Amino acid sequence: MIKEGMIVGERYEVVSKVGTGGMADVYKAKDHKLNRFVAMKVLKQEFREDTNFIKKFKTEAQAAAGLTHPNVVNVFDVGESQGIHYIVMELVEGITLKEYISKKGKLSVKEATSIAIQVSMGLEAAHNHGIVHRDVKPQNIIISTDGKVKVTDFGIARAASSNTISSNVMGSVHYSSPEQVRGGYSDEKSDIYSLGITMYEMVTGVVPFEGDTTVSIAIKHLQEEMEPPSDYTPDLPYSLEQIIFKCTQKSVDRRYPKMEEVIADLKHSLIDPQGDFVNLAPLNTDGKTVVFQGEDIDAIRKNNAIKEVPPLAAEEDYYDSVEDEPDEDYEEEDEEVTGGGLNRRLEKAMTIGGFIIGALIIGVLIVLIGNAAGLFSFGPGGDKSDDKIAKETQAPESDMVEVPDLVGKTEEEATGIVKELYLGLQYTEEETSDTYAKGLISFQEIEPGTKVQKYTTIKYKLSSGSAALPLPDVVGQQQETAERTLKDMGFTVSTTKSYSYEHELGVVMSMTPAAGTQSVAGEMVTLEVSMGSEYEDSVIPGVIGMDETAAKAAMAAFNVIVEYAPSDTVPQGQVMAQNVAEGISAEKGSNVTITVSSGPESTATPSPEAGESQEPDETQGAQEGDASGAWKCTQTLDTPATYTGGMVKMELVQDVNNSPVVDTIMEGKTIDFPYQLDITGQPGVSEGTLYLYELIDTDYVELGHYPISFQKAE
């Protein structure tokens, strides 16, 4: 029984349970050796008794542990302790793709394509290491809080399917390939099929095959064609729909052979959404009549591939010789049409003709397939009267062509150029360029002027335009907000963290390069993020010389008591003294008193000379003389920009006889803004300053201070 606080494998402390699945429970744990949090997947009790399964489980987990990739949930450790079999993995904070689709209904084309590319890259890395996932589905794809997409549970599906446990539970059979539900061999093309179903769900919000039982869904994978995703999403780009179709072909031979081709087409679809570049193999035509056109016959003559088969004219002569050949049996029995020589002659002619036609068809297929694949270098022959054919085949050099200069051309222009030279093109990726406009070819893999064989494929990159952008100022923002802003602009973000008494936990304190620096998309931006105070017993900062607001922020870890005193040398509002010296260690939340200047001490008003009026002027009466009755403020406070809805505290500061008086108006309550004040102030004082605070964790943080006025209540 796993309990919180339990130590597994002498190093992993169980913190909490974060999820459960068909085979295992998942716990958040702390690795005390490396001082980090991890995810620990623990096999359920019913799977711990089968030693064969446990052996395969460990083998597959160890194989997955050798796989390290940004789009894969990395496996750190696998082991057994006190009868508990576990796998330790990277802890990814986020939600599964299944939860994300359920939350949003369906994803945008750009978002779905981005996720599919990242999943494909993770699977490609696994396939390159000889690891097939076998259970690709949205439930096994995690989107982290920083937007990174990661695939998890490598190897576990294989261990499960090799035992009596069925991996095709209801949650998996929706994404299983036909060969998997049939119980046959599955390889990386099975992962491609499951990825296609996952892409279908991302852009439509539904899976293509539904049913009441796993068997009924499995049969649909084998027998039924899925509805086009564009039926659910009419604005779905043509190219992305074709990619989904190619991934989900029931025949493995018609799917993408490798993940790298899926990635290339997905990237291509982002820049050419309606392009017709996905090569979907035609349906198998075995057993159907194949009709060869004139150009097919010309191709045979041109390449002279079937030298042992005579030309068509010679075939006619051959048939004539068969018919004219004397046949003694025919002469003797020429009246017996059904049983004599005529039938035998026809049978011979048909047999020979059948062999010739069969050889011709086989030759045509060999020539067409070999010609398309660039496997043949045909010598002179065929129709000698065709000058063009003779010219093309008179020397081996004719199979070599010079690579043209495609840089600076559009894809359409480049396609036209290479088509005439019998060369191919393959898009690889976008890159930024200050030289070539967006959409122009900025790089080709084979240098112009290089001699290559016909049908060679030239890989190229497209310019995404200049990416020099000024870095935005994110200092003072929360880490999550700052990272999102920079990543949305295409920058890569890294963080360093340090303790600070002046900045709240999670606030960006500085950035490198500095805000405003012209930077290229993809460049690394490093953010320094505050970890708050370092110690539980924090060090008192020095605040003398700061204004009152800054001093309170610097001492946010303590309960700051403010006292006011006049000063002829220290400006009003500035801290003159603190009761605990700078650098002293004190417990968080303890009282610290600061003394703030209230300005120069007022000169006493001279007594009136004899005979002068003793009545105060109107201003003096308003401030001090008319102290009868109640003085009220009923102004309205708007919502502070940084208010998050927590409990608030209000303090009123008024100057009475040149000394500040502080009254707590409210504390520990939540209010709705705009808020109507109803405050009674000091008698005869018509002005004051209202300080508004919000309770953040255990401390009140100032939201702002506002000048308010009071009037005598009638």
The number of beta carbons lying within 10 Å of the beta carbon of residue 220 is: 19
CATH of 7-90, one of 3.40.640.10, 1.10.1270.20, 3.30.200.20, 3.30.1330.200: 3.30.200.20
pLDDT tens digits, one per residue of 331-375: 333 333 333 444 455 555 566 666 677 667 776 666 566 555 555
Cβ contact 152:96 at 8 Å: no
189 Cβ neighbours under 8 A, 6+ residues apart: 177, 252, 255, 256, 257
pLDDT at site 713: 79
State yes or no: pLDDT of 150 exceeds 90: yes
CATH superfamily, domain 97-121+145-154+166-271, is Transferase(Phosphotransferase) domain 1 (1.10.510.10)
Q: Give the CATH number of domain 395-463; options: 3.30.1240.10, 1.10.443.10, 3.30.10.20, 3.40.50.2300.
A: 3.30.10.20
- For domain 620-712, the CATH architecture is Sandwich (2.60)
* pLDDT interval class at 5 (50, 70, 90): confident
Instruction: Report the pLDDT value the prediction gives residue 378, as an integer from 0 to 100.
Output: 45
pLDDT of amino acid 231: 94
Peptide bond preceding 674 in cis form (omega within 30 of 0):
yes
What residue has token string 């043949």? 376
- Please tell me which residue, 57 or 328, carries the higher pLDDT value: 57
Give residue 206's pLDDT: 95
- Per DSSP, the residues of 301-322 read HHHT--TTSPPHHHHHHHHHHH
CATH of domain 537-597: 3.30.10.20
Q: Would the pLDDT of 619 be above 90?
A: no
CA atoms of 523 and 521, how far apart (whole Å): 6
CATH class entry, domain 468-530: alpha beta
Hey, where are the domains in the chain? 7-90, 97-121+145-154+166-271, 294-329+342-390, 395-463, 468-530, 537-597, 620-712
- Count CA atoms within 13 Å of residue 666 on its CB side: 19
Q: What's the burial of 97, exposed, middle or buried (CB within 10 Å: 0-12/13-18/19+)?
A: buried
**Identical fold at 7-90 and 97-121+145-154+166-271?**
no
The β-bridge relationship of strands 591-597 and 559-565 is parallel
pLDDT bin (cut points 50, 70, 90) of residue 603 is very low
Rounded mean pLDDT, 288-310: 40
Mean pLDDT lowest among 249-253, 431-435, 553-557, 574-578:
431-435
Residues tagged active-site: 135
Over the chain, what is the mean pLDDT?
Answer: 78
* Side-chain-facing half-sphere of 506: CA atoms under 13 Å: 6
> How does 610-643 read in b/e, with b if 16+ C-beta sit within 10 Å?
eeeeeeeeeeeebbeebeeeebebeeebeeeeee
Cis amide bond preceding 513, omega within 30: yes
State which of 105-119, 163-177, 479-493 shows the largest mean pLDDT.
105-119
Q: pTM for the whole thing?
A: 0.43
